[in-house]
Amino acid sequence: MPALSVRPRPAIFRALGTADPPATVEVDGKTYHRDEIFKHDSWAATALYSNGRRRIVCKFNRMQPVGWFATEWIGRRLAARERAALERLADLSNVPNALGDVRVDGRIWRTAVARAHVAGHPLGKGERVGPAFFPTLEATLATMHDRGLAYVDLHKRENIIVGDDGRPHLIDFQIGFDAAHRRVRHWPGAAWLFTILCRSDLYHLAKHLAKHDPARDCEAARAGKRQRPWWIRAHRFAAVPLREARRRLLKALGVRSGAGRVESELFVEDGLRAVPARRAA
């Protein structure tokens, strides 16, 4: 549970500022009402909506300006990137289908993207899953890589959903790298960067395997998949101090407590909320 002394994030650290995701949205000609807010951080606010028994998820990317600097264009780019990835993977049963434009009070929100809801829960810390779980996830990544898409964000276990069907489902494609995009494929070094990001996906998959399926982890260790690539070491060299500085800032602002981890915030995203250990049926 978060410490009682913490307070909500200032508007500058929320994608929608002081506002929450809209109470009502219209997608594909149907009206949906907000049931739950899964996440609201600096980059996006994600919420669950329903229309009768039909459930969808809407993500509202960054709109809140930083001083005089407008950020809505960033939100539009992130939404377009995620929508394109979902559409490219529409034939995969463990990637949610993209839906139509998100309208609020009749106006299209270009910073928002809607997708089908996945019945299940985020992969829990140390959760034991079925024997086919990680092979299926590995096959999904292989298909993505074959299509020129690197996931990039696999280090976060909360992006991996354990479906009610026991299978892995990937969500949150906003920072994925599309090497086949017409504006990207001719970049100098694009192919090299894509190779690095794909290998990073496999490295993070092996890390999850070590924590959630120790028996198969021995195979990954023998294959050398758990050796940390040099670029991840280089990234950590720069990223870890920045992350610690951000934690100290949020703690100084009273948003976080203790060591400054996200779990101490007043509102904690769905995938990091304290829940009893889950096991696959």
H/E/C letters for each residue in the chain?
CCCCCCCCCCHHHCCCCCCCCCCEEEECCEEEEEEEEEEECCCEEEEEEEECCEEEEEEEECCCCECCECCHHHHHHHHHHHHHHHHHCCCCCCCCCECCCEEECCEECCCEEEEECCCEEECCCCCECCCCHHHHHHHHHHHHHHCCEECCCCCCHHHEEEECCCCEEECCCCCCEECCCCCCCCCCCHHHHHHHHHHHHHHHHHHHHHHHCHHHHHHHHHCCCCCCCHHHHHHHHHHHHHHHHHHHHHHHCCCCCCCCCHHHCCCCCHHHCCCCCCECC
pLDDT of 8 reads 80
Whether residue 278 lies inside any domain: the answer is: no
Q: What is the pLDDT of residues 3-53, one digit of tens each?
A: 457 778 889 989 999 999 999 999 999 999 999 999 999 999 999 999 999
| Contact between residue 48 and residue 270 where contact means Cβ atoms under 8 Å apart | no
Question: How many residues are recorded in the chain?
Answer: 281
Using alpha carbons, list the distances in angstroms from residue 55 to 52, 95, 218: 8, 15, 39
Name the more confident of 10 and 259. Answer: 10
Q: What is the pLDDT of residues 92-141, one digit of tens each?
A: 999 999 999 999 999 999 999 999 999 999 999 888 899 899 999 999 99
Which range, of 33-42, 161-170, 256-265, averages the lowest pLDDT?
256-265
CA dist 215 and 128 (Å) reads 11
pLDDT of 149 reads 95
| Contact between residue 101 and residue 108 where contact means Cβ atoms under 8 Å apart | yes
Residue 224 has pLDDT above 50, yes or no: no
Output the six-digit token pair for 20: 């929450």
Into how many domains does the chain fold? 1
Which range, of 39-43, 220-224, 248-252, averages the lowest pLDDT?
220-224
Q: Which of 104, 106, 86, 88 is nearest to 96 (CA)?
A: 86
Name the more confident of 232 and 165. Answer: 165
Range 184-200 average pLDDT: 85
What type of residue is 109? Answer: W
The residues near 108 (Cβ < 8 Å, ≥ 6 apart) are 101, 102
Whether residue 5 lies inside any domain: the answer is: no
Mark residue 119 as left, alpha or beta (left: phi above 0; alpha: psi -120 to 50; beta: remaining). beta
Residue 57 has pLDDT above 80, yes or no: yes
| Contact between residue 62 and residue 44 where contact means Cβ atoms under 8 Å apart | yes
**Structural domain span for residue 109:** 11-272
Whether residue 1 lies inside any domain: the answer is: no
Whether residue 173 lies inside any domain: the answer is: yes
Whether residue 267 lies inside any domain: the answer is: yes
Sheet architecture: strand order including 168-170? 120-122, 160-163, 168-170
CA dist 211 and 49 (Å) reads 32
Using alpha carbons, list the distances in angstroms from residue 127 to 4, 132, 136, 212: 28, 14, 17, 6
Whether residue 82 lies inside any domain: the answer is: yes
CA dist 216 and 213 (Å) reads 6
Q: Can you give the CATH number for the domain in which 84 is found?
A: 1.10.510
Mean pLDDT, the chain, as a whole number? 85
Whether residue 18 lies inside any domain: the answer is: yes
